[in-house]
Structure 1
Amino acid sequence: MPASPDQKLWVRTRQAVHAQVARTAMGLFLERGFEATTIDDIAAAAGISRRSFFRYFGTKEDIVLGDLAAHGEQIRKELEARPATEDAWSALLNALRHAPRPGPDDATTLKISKMLYNTPSLRARSLEKHLQWQALLTPDIRHRLGVAPDDEHDLRAEAIVACVLTCLDVAGEAWTRGNGTTPLEDLVLAAVAAVRGSAAVP
C-alpha cells in the first residue's frame, strides 16, 4: 500500500531532524571531544529534549558510526556484482574500493578518524560493525570458493573476509597516524600483501 502524503511528510521530517541532530553532535564532538560531550549537551544544542534524542539515536556512538551499517550493504552489493572470474581476495578489495561512500572532506574525515581511534567506546563499536560486515560479505566469498552453504567445517571464506576487514582497520589506523599523507588504498593493499606473504596483491 503506497504511503500517504502525511506519512511521506513524517518520514522526511524525521530524516531532516535526524540529520540536523547528527550535524550538531559531530560539531560538538570535533570541538570539545567525544567523551567531553554529553547527550544533554547535544540535545540542548539541537533544541530537542533528551527523550527526543533517544528517538533518533540509541547511543552517542551511533551518531559517529551510524552510516557503517549502510556502507556494509553497499560493499555487499559491489561484491556480488564483481565478475565471477575474480578470486575472493581481489573481489573483496575491489568491492571495498568501488563502494560509494559519500562523506565529509578529507580534513574532516581525518579529524573524525582520530576521534574514533582515540576513543575506546568508538573503536569497540567500529569493530562490532565490522563483524556485521563479515556476516554480509561471507556468503558471496563462500560461493566464489565453491563452499557449500551448509558446510560448517570449511572456514576459508570467514577467514578471508575477517582478514581483509582487519587489514582495513589496521590501514585506517596507520592512515590516521600519518595524517592522511599516504592513500588509504595503498595502505590496505600493503597490509593484505603482508598477510598473504607477497609483494603485491592481484
Structure 2
Amino acid sequence: MRAGLAELALGLFVERGYERTTVEDIAAAAGLSKRSFFRYFPTKEDVLFADVEELADRIADAIRERPAGEDPWTCLHMVLRDWGGRVHAARHDLTGLRLIETTPALRARLHQKRDAMRSRIATALRERPGSTLDAFTADLLTAAAGAALDAAAREWLRCDGDADRSALIDEAFAALSPRLAEPAPA
C-alpha cells in the first residue's frame, strides 16, 4: 500500500505541482481518508522517501558483511556501487529525482533522511570486524561517500538518465579516494 500511495502521490506532484497537491488530494485519489494517509506517512514530504529507512538498514548490514581486511573506503565504494541503483530507485527514478531537486521542502527532507542514513552507515563502518575507525573518520568517510553518490546522481540527471550509474559512482569514488594514513602518534 505504501509503495502504491507513493507512486500515486508522485504522479499528482508531477501533474499539479508539489506545493499545489495536498494530503487530502492524495488521500482522495487513493480512496483513503486524510487520517489513513498519516498512518502510512508522517508528512507529505515522506511519501517520496517511503523506503529510505529500510534501505539504510540493508546498506548498513551489507557494510557489516564485507571482508574484515577491506579498507573502509573500498568497503563503502563496493557496497554503494552495488546499492547505487537501488538508492536512486528509492527516489522514484528520473521524474522523482527532478521533483526533489527542484522543490525546496523535498530537498530539505532529503537532507534530513540522508543525515539519518549516513549515521547508520558510519556506525556500521565502525562495527565491522577488526575496525579501528573512530567516529570522526567514519563520519568523514561516510560524508565523502554520500558526496560521491550525490555527484553521480546529479550527473545522471544532467544526462537524462542515459549515463551508466555504476560508472559514474566509480568515477566519483576514484576522484575522492582518500589516502588513508596511520594516525600520528599522540
TM-score range, shorter chain: 0.7 to 0.9
1-side partners of 2:96 and 2:31: how far apart? 24
TM norm structure 1: 0.75
Question: Per-residue CA shift, 1:62-95, capped at 9, x if unaligned?
Answer: 1101211111111111111111122111111111
| 8 Å contact from structure 1 (residues 138, 158) kept in 2 | yes
Question: Per-residue CA shift, 1:146-193, capped at 9, x if unaligned?
Answer: 13xxx6xx6212101111012211221221122112112222222222
Unaligned runs of 5+ in 1: 1-15
| 8 Å contact from structure 2 (residues 61, 124) kept in 1 | no
Which structure has the larger Rg? 1
Q: Which has the higher contact order (CA 8 A, sep 6+)?
A: 2
Matched, 1:162 2:143: yes
Q: How does 1:45-64 map to 2 (within 5 A)?
A: 45-64=29-48
Equivalent in the alignment of 2:72 = 88
Match of 1:40 among 16, 24, 34: 24
* Change in CA separation of 1:145 and 1:81 when aligned onto 2, cut-off 3 Å: closer
1-side partners of 2:131 and 2:108: how far apart? 30
Query: Number of matched residues?
Result: 174
1-side partners of 2:178 and 2:60: how far apart? 26
Q: How does 1:113-192 map to 2 (within 5 A)?
A: 113-142=97-126, 143=128, 145-147=131-133, 155-192=136-173
Matched, 1:97 2:97: no
Matched, 1:31 2:12: no
TM norm structure 2: 0.81
Match of 2:6 among 22, 41, 51: 22
Give the fraction of aligned pairs with identical amino acids, expressed as a percent: 37
